[in-house]
Structure 1
């Protein structure tokens, strides 16, 4: 009897394993039988013998095509014909030998589509044919993740664009479709990416580090809810891509893919009269693999090499408003449309005033008055000619004014991306005992794009190199004992430089008179940087930035796995250590100008450009830091046993341990620097502020970071030292409620993350199996790296110099009225190099803090299912899948008022009134996921492959992500459970169907004309497609203000509206004499009358994400035509691919802030893209 089934591969994340039992014809086990496994592509053979109970095992087998031969004395030889082993699969082949001569060979058949009869894991393999042939926009493999059940493509994460324009993530091709999904109810960040079983993970934003080349992918698998303790680290899915290896014959390909706006449909939301933006995209490359046919390497060494280039261009054009020559001469008379009387504008809101004439006045509500400029013309002797020169050198000249667009100039800048990617792999076998492979993947990505404003010529140049390389060694001690060792290195950098093209920043800054302490002396660059000019009145702004990130991702991975076969047990144990570190210097500065400094001191009139001409600034900013973390990472260990309890029942059980080493912020070499190690973090559990590395007193250092001299007021709070009123506390005395962590770090690692796993698979006859499993899994990677660097620059340190409300009458910079701070040196008098001393204590200010005792989220995951094999190539699987997540992250604002109230001063009602409210991440949340998942899978045979995946599910959570910046946030931070509602990525229904179909027309096919010429014309066609149908995306109807009056002033939009009617019926109110549109239309997605603003001091009666946008459906389609060259294995292939084949418009989520009545309920964007076409030409040999 022969049985072939699939299970989780223990110790073989990127490979397969094979086991079975050898018996005689009576069913008795046969020990010491010889078993030979042969790779059909390379000819490499591996030998073993069955043990005392007839069991044999092969582990760490590269995915591919194999044959099996079993021999024993006095028995016939059994030859198992070609079968396929997939990534992370264990095939079980039980062989029965009949008595007879050993020379007699009996052949039996096996197939690559089998029952999963030895495990309860949830996993879907996307095979080579699907990867290569399904339509992919931009050839990014993550689009195929949605073909597996349990995968929601909705992303609420900060990384939903994949870092495509630079940043701390992977260098993703700009024109490609990138998917960053939620898998089985976990957050978007709770997935993990491997390539060939090696870490390929960009920890900062939780996606892959180096994208694999499509033509170099053998296959990939998404594993979740595994009953093997080897799998863990994330609550979602482990995405493991396996690259191709060479074989005994040379094979390869060359390709070119083209996209052009001429082939694309017009965006339905593009304004009438606007043209489609120009667009050009080319993707090209080549691959080759085969044997290294050298005398000492022949039949043992194989290589595979792939290169891919990518070129993208989509210029960006924007209408902008720039200062006119008349304005730069000081003439603002055109501002006054009401006319002048005695040189004063008849409309006070259109008059500008002279800030240097500011004087105290008891008759003014502000306590000050100013003299107006006659006819709104600034006298020439007051104009700062140096700043005028700066404007003239940096800004383009103004053209004719366009009232429709409120602009007088056009900014047209390049937006390009260039990538070159390489992948090389070497596989070598040393006899029967040892095998090794090595892979090196590299990508060089260059992005040029507008950044930090729409000033013409202000471009960001991102050079993003990525590396992922490593090797694997397998040593077989005996037929029952094997060791696997793996090492890898992953590194992604980002050298981001935003500079003004054709402008010498040093010369321009010095001519403008800027102090080097403001516009130079940066640690990230030796030169000067153009400051960003923040101008109101709709004037364009922008400035230069240097942000070179040498260690956006920098990981080393070490792992060992030992596999032991003993009787009916396969024991696997192992461990791994993956390091994590981050480093990113940042340098920039800015100047802000406001109408405040040139109004009448009571809020009337003024103009920001007039304030600039006078050199009177409102605010300034300078950042010069090196965000660095110390070494962190993940230490893991596991023990696993796969026990074949009976011929029908397999039980898997094991234990996994994970220790997340949260990387502490700051390094010793940053002592005394902006954004250095001397920083802190509030602990809102104890009401204290924790310093990780205390600086010296300010009497010693003088500037931040330092401990300021303080005294205590009558309430016991720290205030600035004033010896004239009372004695000061000794230098270096910490303010009340401030403590020092003696470990020199903020975070506390969690040492109790033990995760048991248990599963079973029970065969019901030859074509059906029951499976079930449960386990405890910890989330070890999600947001850890980003969380660590968030506390950069907090009290008593300084992350950036910020000065606000400058030159405001009656303040420290304008005590008597006239301004005193100039634009050239906005931080003058603030300390060495413009760095001030810290305030006595303000709990660190508003930042993205985290609980020092934050812990890893964990989930109880469980599933039960049934699988049936319909025929030799097709299976159907149905499963119940559930998870209960505890210690989930809760972000948003904390230390707000304990209860909503209309009473003033919500700070007095805070949990700790002496500490201000701030963003704060805590591990106190809960999430819940339940689903029915069904898969119908037909492997490729007879020219056809298809897969149908359906998910019916409900994903509930209280908070979608991290930092108050990802999806919904809790309404009441003290009672998160009140916000338990559908997750932002919850889609109750998801159906995907994909197919690859070679049309059976032509010579040798089902339909043939018997004419070679006619068959050549009609044959060799293939069609491929992906159908997606799913529920609409979730959204909330919010009140964007702090209507509950809790002091929650963060931009998270926590407050929900009141539901007072049926939003899905009726119509919106009429406007401008036109009848109201019905609900669920583009201009009225919901009946806006169904919602009301909550009463001040109360929460709304809705829960977050209570509503859904339009149901989504889409078809991506491609058609191929092959032109055979010499034989069928060598051909030229033309491809035409259409994404959104029928150009269907699916409405995106509507504007849903009740405080924005002009667009409340209005849909202004699509959830999908207009139809785009991609054409390709491939040479295959």
Structure 2
């Protein structure tokens, strides 16, 4: 057996010996040593750790070296006491434990009488002395004291160094999700240290709460139901796996010995909101109304003949969310003259007649004759194409581009809640059960209206999402040094997203609608270069039901200086899906651009997409042919690990570990699964002779990740930390695997592209062909797209490393400066292996597989061969709450490079030239060079127990208990790429521009009207690729300040009423989006959208008891 498989076998044997599964990573622990005044070890000390809220306790005894460990503690406040005959008892009160924390509390035992107790006020060090993991804890106090848009607590995760992301609740547009199935409110797309936001893992009470495709939250707990959470961003311990990015640990709130609860109402509307920067200055504001309301209740369980005090506790919460959100969309629509065929002055160098295309006698690209007066004669109008052009509304202002503003309205209705019961069965046995649910109903609007549609949003139609997550847990203390934890979890994510038909009768005149196909709308998707699109948006349908069973357990054992953990993690995943491929339509898709009305020999400033539409000549036609049937896919995942936190000395701790992962490829219950063999030019259909149920994709047994770290306490106030870990991301590209059923013979996309001789070959009047049987791939014409996965497809691999110095500047202030980096390998990378080389002539006959598969256009070949690299300096200054002030501030200076950042299972970016991977090694499309976060709260010093106005005077009553919270984010602009219309290479693929030598790309007076200089870029010569680097320019920076002003009104003992006034984007600073970046079309280099809303105000009342 090879060394590799011997290692794998050792890991497996260790996990079986442990008899168990994954560590309860969201729990906390207290480690320490009992010593006498001469620092000698004191064995047999009885250490009792008591939860101050529930009065439940755990008791352990120090070993021969004086060491003790109390594990699997719920985050919260604890009292720690130590007792041994011949020594004074010692008690530490108010020991705060955070999620996932390993707190060190060394006990100094003084000779004396046992009955004499030394009380010590706990003041935990802010230094991280036990490991080198990089992350940030956000506790419940910070969540309640900082402004929080949409009550989405995970927004605060982006305050961690190295983390960025657009929180959907603050998005300025109704198209707030990055995917059509991620339109729910309260989400945040986290990107940690250069990793994709699809490479994260979310754990709720230790149970996987990660949606399989988008890798975001399945259940989004309400703020009232979350105790605290932690974001781990680099070099997490060996107990963590299945993520190359961030790991989000959330702990649900539990009840205690006192009956507590809350009632709340948060209200926002457009009356006090600032007008969106791009909304018209006259007329009413876009409508906006948000109501969030709910309640929570927790305490001891009391039943007839049963009092659960100190033993049994419950907690439950509910939150409702009702939103009406109108968002302006600035679009370009044609003028009345353009709709009549008159393009004088529209294209600087004219409109050309495609039917006059002839070879260029001088060689090179073809030439055409110009339409007289740049006007298309009425007898050349295509009846359907002209009718489609007439659907556009007329411009609202006298401008060629960005001349129309619509205000579509999104409606959202959400119900979410949690219920939890904890029970202390005995001093050595504890149980808890939690169930969470999240129901969302969303109506996404069309860009224009329900008559003509418009697809500027990612999706239009009704969406419903029903999510569930439950956990049952048993914690068993086997001995003073050994604790076991057993859990079962179940997660379900059910969503339905459909596209609505449109009401204008023009849509019913397009030939080719197949009324026998389920879910098919009456309008196609129409993409327009330089204009707003028409028709339906995105793909339809998308109906998915994900479910996962999970068994979790862990054994932790303290052996002298070694804190050992052993475990495994077993998932059984399944997904049923009825869906069209992303971006496709069951009716069809037309794309129009200037290619058929430009001058091929000198395309700059010639042609117009609307002219091509009026003539009836689309650039390409696509149609998804959906065959009845639902794909039912399954996969199993097994993780196991061993970890040793070795306390080498009082100042040095080593974290040593190994994490192993096995993930089986997806299989489909009915063998609706296919791949491709490039060597034989044949499809591989699951279940056929010689083809396995995985399409011959092999299981990756090489996902073995060592974890090495050290924490050296150089002095009492300084810690040096360093760490290295090898992580794997098996599910970050799950969509790549499960979508192999979306191709022939189960589902196929007709893909008819523009001919290579510049003579129209597609006609709008012909409509869309109806195909009801699987295609014969060996018979032309070229219509269909295939996909294939390399048999040795690997789990994405990420090496994470960091080196930092941490200095405690005072009792409550700590500074951390460090280098944090990562290197990705085996990332999902896709290329079209049937793309012809650049050159003249028709495209399809030049395809590499044209001879054997003439009916096939593209063949998307998916490999795990992409790479990435991220490097950063991170500076973090944190002040614990004291004297009324709390501060968390950090600066990240970073640079990310890659050639294959995966986008939720859709590998990307697709390379411009599939034969030249090196040309796509460039700045990551999520690269943020600089980011500064500042979060602070301040309690004004007025009122009882404060410095001023301590009495009961009227002035004191007015000034007392006020507090302010601020969150400031400043970051560099996101990168973007300048592209060109059409396909200069004559391959059917898009292209980047060429830089123009000597022309500065950034104008001297940069503005949203001209963010970059289009003259600095040129369309590549015919039959060549663009030479501009990917993501070579940057958009506007983001500056955002959120403010909270609040006051607590004390209504009696344990009762208070909180008033909150929150201002989001308080400075009303426009957060501009990226500019239009395709040269040669209208509106290039202009910015017409914002990333976040302008200033919004929110008022709230919360009654707590």
Give the TM bin, normalised by the shorter chain.
0.7 to 0.9
Quick check: 2:222–2:319 contact (8 Å CA) kept in 1? Answer: yes
User: The residue matched to 1:202 in structure 2 has which SS?
Assistant: coil
- Residues of 2 paired with 1:109 and 1:82: CA distance? 7
Deviations 1:354-380 (A, max 9, x none): xxxxxxxxxxx9xxxxxxxx99899xx
Structure 1 residue 181: deviation in Å?
2.6
In 1, Cα distance between equivalents of 2:127 and 2:779: 68
1:566 to 539, 559, 571: 559
Alignment of 1:624-1023 (within 5 A): 624-664=627-667, 666-668=668-670, 676-677=672-673, 679-683=674-678, 686=679, 688-693=681-686, 740-784=690-734, 786-799=735-748, 827=770, 839-840=778-779, 845-846=784-785, 849-896=788-835, 908=846, 917-962=858-903, 968-1008=909-949, 1010-1023=951-964
Equivalence for 1:221? 230
Q: Is the 8 A contact 1:162 1:172 kept in 2?
A: no
Cα shift at 1:513? 14
Q: Which residue of 1 aligns with 2:259?
A: 250
Give, in whole Å, the separation in 1 of the partners of 2:1051 and 2:936: 26
Shifted more, 745-754 versus 241-250: the winner is: 745-754
Aligned to 2:1070: 1145
1:726 equivalent in structure 2: none
**1: distance between equivalents of 2:683 and 2:775?**
22
Relative contact order higher in (CA < 8 Å, ≥ 6 apart)? 2
Aligned-CA RMSD value: 4.9
SS for the counterpart of 1:1016 is helix
* Cα distance between partner residues in 1 of 2:1064 and 2:1040: 8
Q: Report whether the alignment pairs 1:1171 with 2:1095.
A: yes
Q: Provide the residue aligned with 1:736 in structure 2.
A: none
Contact 1:253 1:1180 in 2 (8 A): yes
Matched, 1:1060 2:1060: no
Structure 1 residues not aligned, in runs of 5+: 1-8, 323-333, 339-347, 351-364, 366-373, 385-390, 612-617, 696-738, 1068-1077
Change (3 A) 1:812 1:933: closer
1:959 CA drift (Å): 3.0
CA distance in 2, matches of 1:1109, 1:1153: 14
Question: Could you tell me how far 1:113 is from its partner in structure 2?
Answer: 4.6
SS at match of 2:697: coil
| Separation (CA, whole Å) in 1 of partners of 2:175 and 2:489 | 23
Structure ID, larger Rg = 1
Match of residue 269, structure 2, among 260, 267, 270: 260
1:585 partnered with 2:578:
yes
Query: For the structure 1 residues 539 and 448, does the alpha-carbon distance in structure 2 shift closer, same or farther, using more than 3 Å as the test?
Result: closer
Any conservation in 2 of the 1:195–1:240 contact (CA below 8 Å)? yes
TM-aligned CA distance change 1:850 to 1:766, over 3 Å = same
Q: Which residue of 2 aligns with 1:494?
A: 495
Distance (whole Å) between structure 2 residues aligned to residue 163 and residue 925 of structure 1: 29
Q: What is the distance in 2 between the residues matched to 1:142 and 1:635?
A: 28
Do the aligned partners of 1:162 and 1:207 also contact (CA within 8 Å) in 2? no
Distance 2:1008 2:380 in 1: 47
1:1113 is aligned, of 1034, 1039, 1042, to: 1039
Q: Deviations over 1:434-481 (max 9, x none)?
A: 111111110111112335984349872322111011122111111112
2:318 maps to which of 292, 307, 318 = 307
* Residue 717 of structure 1: aligned partner: none
CA contact (8 A) 1:417 1:447 kept: yes
Separation in structure 2 between the aligned mates of residue 320 and residue 1150 of structure 1, nearest angstrom: 13
Shift, 1:801, TM fit: 7.2
Shift of 1:960: 2.9
Aligned counterpart, 2:515 = 519
Three-state SS of the structure 1 residue aligned to 2:275 is: coil
Aligned residue number for residue 288 of structure 1: 297
Q: How does 1:359-438 map to 2 (within 5 A)?
A: 415-438=410-433
**Corresponding residue of 1:1160:** 1084
Q: Counterparts of 2:775 and 2:81 in 1: how far apart (Å)? A: 79
Query: Is 1:120–1:773's contact at 8 Å kept on the other side of the alignment?
Result: yes
User: CA–CA distance in 2 between the matches of 1:534 and 1:1062?
Assistant: 35
Bigger drift between 106-115 and 394-403 goes to 394-403
Is residue 134 of structure 2 the alignment partner of residue 122 of structure 1?
Answer: yes
Deviation track 1:257-291 (CA, whole Å, cap 9, x = no partner) reads 12212222122223555653111111111112111
Q: Sort the Cα spacing of 1:439 and 1:1050 in 2 relative to 1 into closer, same or farther, 3 A.
A: farther
Structure 2: runs of 5 or more not aligned: 1-20, 334-338, 344-350, 354-367, 369-376, 454-459, 597-606
Structure 2 partner of 1:462: 463
Aligned residue pairs, count: 1023
Residues 860 and 194 from structure 1, CA distance in 2 versus in 1: closer, same or farther, beyond 3 angstroms? Answer: same
Distance 2:40 2:256 in 1: 38
Aligned to 1:555: 548
Which of the residues 122, 130, 134 maps onto 2:146? Answer: 134
SS of equivalent to 1:891: strand
1109-1118 vs 440-449, which deviates more? 1109-1118
Residues 801 and 835, structure 1, Cα contact 8 Å, conserved in 2? no
Contact 1:1141 1:1171 in 2 (8 A): yes
Residue 241 of structure 2: SS of its match in structure 1? coil
Aligned equivalents of 1:170, 1:543: Cα separation in 2: 15
1:295-351, CA deviations, whole angstroms, 9 ceiling, x for partnerless residues?
2533111111110000011357999999xxxxxxxxxxx96999xxxxxxxxx999x
Residues 698-719 of structure 1: per-residue CA shift (max 9 Å, x gap): xxxxxxxxxxxxxxxxxxxxxx
- The answer as to whether partners of 2:24 and 2:553 remain within 8 angstroms in 1 is no
The answer to whether the 8 Å contact 2:173/2:1093 transfers is no
